[in-house]
């Protein structure tokens, strides 16, 4: 009798384990894998998009660029080849939203510092004053890691075209004079194919948590 009870106990344990495996398998099959949208210009607030690309519905990507980082190095798309990256727009003397955005970028940097797949890219919107030495001093003050995060400057028109035609993130085209500046809180998530996969309020801590979650989701696409 004791052997029978022992056998029944083992059978019940095996049956329970099999039941758990079957239920999990069914749940996994029924639950679709989480994915991120691929943003096109016609999906974004029209005020943030240049009229030349506003009605594009597919195949939108971040266009080629050539800018200079805090170390005086030329930064192009090649630097971000086969990388996921987070882009934003700032200027070093901003006293409103930029300090909060920079603090949040620093938190992202801390979380991705050992992740070879993810990088950061911040464009100054005030290249008239944000020279390479100014960006270098700012980077050192804030604790920017050169291998993870480029602060870039360059031709103002080029930067603003990137903001409106590529990143879909600016209401201004920079034609209003030297002090007509992009002032956007958007962090933009870009995938390895240079496609936009998400927009996040860079001043909102909860949005940053959502961004970190979405980076994980996006990385799973490449597994």
Higher pLDDT among residues 8 and 223, named by residue: 223
Q: Are residues 45 and 7 in the same domain?
A: no
Q: Are residues 211 and 115 in the same domain?
A: yes
Residues 97-101 have a mean pLDDT of 96
pTM given for the model: 0.84
> Looking at the predicted structure, is the pLDDT value of residue 5 above 80?
no
> Looking at the predicted structure, is the pLDDT value of residue 28 above 80?
no
Per DSSP, the residues of the chain read -HHHHHHHHHHHHHHHHHHHHHHHHHHHHHSPPP----B-GGGS-GGGS-TTTTT--S---PPP-EEE-TTS-EEEGGGGTT-EEEEEEE-TT--SSHHHHHHHHHHHHHHHTT-TTEEEEEEES-TTT--HHHHHHHHHHHT--TTTEEEEB--HHHHHHIIIIIS---S--STT-TT------EEEEE-TTS-EEEEEETT-HHHHHHHHHHHHHHHHHT-
Place of tokens 């200027």: 91
> Looking at the predicted structure, is the pLDDT value of residue 76 above 80?
yes
Report the CATH number at residue 171.
3.40.30.10
Q: Are residues 19 and 58 in the same domain?
A: no
Is 36 among the domain residues?
no
Is 88 among the domain residues?
yes
> Looking at the predicted structure, is the pLDDT value of residue 36 above 80?
yes
Q: Are residues 203 and 154 in the same domain?
A: yes
Is 165 among the domain residues?
yes
Q: Are residues 149 and 205 in the same domain?
A: yes
The reported pLDDT for the residue numbered 10 is 65
Q: Are residues 131 and 25 in the same domain?
A: no
Is 72 among the domain residues?
yes
Q: Are residues 140 and 207 in the same domain?
A: yes
Render pLDDT for 121-143 as a digit per residue (tens, 0 to 9): 999 999 999 999 999 999 999 99
Q: With bands split at pLDDT 50, 70 and 90, how would you rate the model's confidence at 26? A: low
CA nearest neighbour of 39 among 22, 58, 21: 58
Q: Are residues 27 and 131 in the same domain?
A: no
Total domains, the chain: 2
The reported pLDDT for the residue numbered 179 is 47
Annotated binding site for Cu cation: which residue ranges?
94, 98, 183
**CA distance linking residue 175 with residue 50, whole number of Å:** 13
Q: Are residues 106 and 13 in the same domain?
A: no
Annotated binding site: which residue ranges?
94, 98, 183
Residues 17-43 have a mean pLDDT of 73
Render pLDDT for 110-123 as a digit per residue (tens, 0 to 9): 999 999 999 999 99
Q: Are residues 69 and 159 in the same domain?
A: yes
Domain encompassing residue 156: 41-221
Higher pLDDT among residues 5 and 190, named by residue: 190
The reported pLDDT for the residue numbered 22 is 61
Q: Are residues 6 and 102 in the same domain?
A: no
> Looking at the predicted structure, is the pLDDT value of residue 16 above 70?
no
Q: Are residues 19 and 94 in the same domain?
A: no
């Amino acid at each position: 009798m004791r052997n029978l009870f022992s056998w029944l106990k083992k059978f019940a344990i095996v049956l329970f384990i099999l039941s758990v495996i079957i239920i999990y398998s069914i749940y996994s099959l029924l639950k679709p894998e989480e994915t991120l949208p691929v943003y096109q210009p016609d999906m974004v607030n029209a005020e943030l998009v240049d009229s030349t690309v506003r009605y594009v519905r597919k195949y939108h990507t971040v266009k080629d660029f050539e800018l200079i980082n805090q170390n005086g190095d030329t930064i192009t798309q090649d630097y971000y080849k086969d990388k996921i990256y987070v882009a934003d727009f700032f200027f070093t003397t901003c006293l409103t939203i930029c300090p909060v955005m920079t603090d949040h970028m620093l938190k992202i940097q801390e979380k991705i510092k050992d992740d070879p797949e993810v990088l950061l890219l911040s464009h100054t919107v005030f290249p008239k004053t944000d020279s390479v030495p100014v960006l270098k001093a700012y980077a050192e003050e804030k604790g920017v890691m050169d291998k993870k995060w480029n602060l870039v400057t360059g031709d103002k028109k080029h930067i603003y075209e990137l903001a409106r035609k590529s990143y879909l993130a600016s209401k201004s085209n920079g034609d209003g004079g030297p002090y007509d500046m992009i002032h956007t809180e958007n962090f933009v998530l870009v995938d390895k194919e240079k496609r936009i996969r998400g927009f996040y309020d860079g001043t909102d801590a909860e949005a940053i948590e959502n961004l970190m979650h979405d980076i994980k989701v996006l990385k799973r696409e490449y597994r």
